[in-house]
Structure 1
Amino acid sequence: MLQYPRIDPVAISLGPVQIHWYGLMYLVGFLAAWWLGRRRAHQLGLSPEAIETLIFYCAMGVILGGRVGYALFYGFEKLADNPLWLFKIWEGGMSFHGGFAGVLVAALVFARKENLRFFRLTDFIAPLVPIGLGAGRLGNFINHELPGRVSDVPWAMVFPNMGPAPRHPSSLYEFALEGVVLFAVLWWFSINPRRNGATSGLFLLLYGIFRFSVEFVRLPDPQLGFIAFGWMTMGQLLTLPMIIGGFAMIVWSRYLPINITKAAKA
């Protein structure tokens, strides 16, 4: 059994102002996407300044979509009782799937603005996402969130306020898979020109498989529990379409043209 590291969730405290590690992890993800996106701006034929606009759009999609998605998927009863609860972001609650939907909307708006093919743009965005996903999972771990189920594996940990039983550090599993592994695979895969939709499909497929698998050792959301078959969680239900859709996109992309790098706009 490993010792759970006691890290103060508050990174910086300046009087009444507190900056949490979880919020800083979002900043890390956006900055990483900004830096990596500027390095590959030539793949879309866009200027680095246009990439900054793209990252801003996506950041808004993550924040707004993530909050709305959490309210709809995980806190609908609270939302129905008090619609203003949606705006109480200080109480926490963000959903990957909601943020994912928000990014798709942002990508659609940006693609129309820049006259880009939608899947060409999502192929560009996909490798920029995993660092933010991994950073977010580290923020969950520091916040004592998303604890795993009871386990006797040697690396199990006793989580604060979760009783004496050791548990899977499931947020660290997600950090490794959704962050490190997913980034390495997508960055390598997208170095060379690929067919339209192939990188996006690979993102959907791998993220879906990783998330679906880790849910087996992660505690289900207490307000929902298991929602089907006595074992399926909301995370698995929302992720299953990603697996199916990702596989379908990879197959479909074989019939589409290869992305060709354009000259950057002035």
Structure 2
Amino acid sequence: MGSPVFSYIHWHPDPELFRIGGLGVRYYSLLFAAGIIIAYLLLKKSLLQQKIPVAVLDKLLIYVVIGTFLGARLGHCLFYEPGYYLHHPLEIFIPWSSTTEGIRFTGYQGLASHGAALGILLSAWIYARKYHFPYMVILDTIAPYIPLAGAVIRLGNLFNSEIIGRPTRVPWAFVFDRVDQVPRHPAQLYESICYFALFLFLYRYSLRKKTTQQKGLLFSLLLTILFSIRFLLEFFKADQEAFEAGMLINMGQLLSLPLIAAGIILLFQRKKLFGA
């Protein structure tokens, strides 16, 4: 027999923490910002401890934040809903829609972490070219803190009752009351916990050598481990889009495979590329 229904965690928080006029402030938005700010502050502290100049960090933050958002937004639109946004291109970047009641602020309905990863890579490359800074040093510098930001952002997905898990009878199952009454894996929590553990691992590993001496190690470990985690945890998630029904592996897993491969190749080619 399965566990009694009352043993499950019924999850039904209002995604909006408060409203300012007609604008709702969501937990997701606050946690997204908090994840980036916490990662930035810890990175700054780490650089100070290593006696590495932090003057460049503020500008790098601007590049990375812009790259993260643009990449995440474009990634969602291109990977998950290309047909819709091909016919509604303005909605890619306009956070409101027109209704019979007037203009309604909707926020951005969809951000993809794989797109965010590509946005970070591109923005860091642009920064490196503009300021003549070693590209791989930048990637190694920020690598431990990316999963920390991701861990906090996944809690925002939990408050939104999105990226929910598959049905299950495990005692810690969540019933997302805003979705249905089916006990499900709290996939957002699984991912948040795993990302936080990866942050601790990479941070501890980063203490062995200065960031400037890592020569791609931290970044290659990040790519390999983070997207391996993502690939495996997708098996616990419900399909995010209708087109994923019946697929052997879903879109998140398909997008993870080339990034895992890139991480493994970089890990074993570091000596050839950087003399590691």
Offset, 1:37: 2.4
Mapping for residues 53-92 of structure 1, pairs under 5 Å:
53-89=59-95, 90-92=107-109
| Aligned counterpart, 1:134 | 151
Find runs of 4+ consecutive structure 1 residues off by over 6 angstroms. none
Q: Percent identity, aligned pairs only?
A: 30
Deviations 1:227-251 (A, max 9, x none): 7xx4200000000111111111111
Secondary structure in structure 2 of the residue aligned to 1:98: helix
Deviations 1:199-248 (A, max 9, x none): 11100011111100110010122232147xx4200000000111111111
CA distance in 1, matches of 2:82, 2:55: 39
Offset, 1:42: 5.4
Residues paired across the two proteins, number: 255
TM-score normalised according to structure 1 size: 0.89
Offset, 1:45: 7.4
| Aligned counterpart, 1:153 | 170
Equivalent of 2:243, from 205, 224, 237?
224
| Aligned counterpart, 2:126 | 109
Task: Using the TM superposition, name which of 41-50 and 96-105 deviates more.
Answer: 41-50
Deviations 1:66-115 (A, max 9, x none): 11111000110111122112124414100111111111111111112332
TM-score normalised according to structure 2 size: 0.86
CA distance in 2, matches of 1:79, 1:177: 32
Task: Using the TM superposition, name which of 81-90 and 198-207 deviates more.
Answer: 81-90
1:145 to 1:77, Cα distance in 2 relative to 1, 3 A: same
CA contact (8 A) 2:155 2:192 kept: yes
| Aligned counterpart, 1:183 | 199
CA contact (8 A) 1:182 1:207 kept: yes
| Aligned counterpart, 1:11 | 17
Equivalent of 1:207, from 226, 234, 251?
226
Secondary structure in structure 2 of the residue aligned to 1:216: helix
Secondary structure in structure 1 of the residue aligned to 2:18: strand
CA contact (8 A) 1:174 1:214 kept: yes
Runs of 5+ unmatched residues, structure 2:
1-6, 96-106
CA contact (8 A) 1:195 1:254 kept: no
| Aligned counterpart, 1:28 | 34
Which amino acid in structure 1 is aligned with residue 231 of structure 2?
F
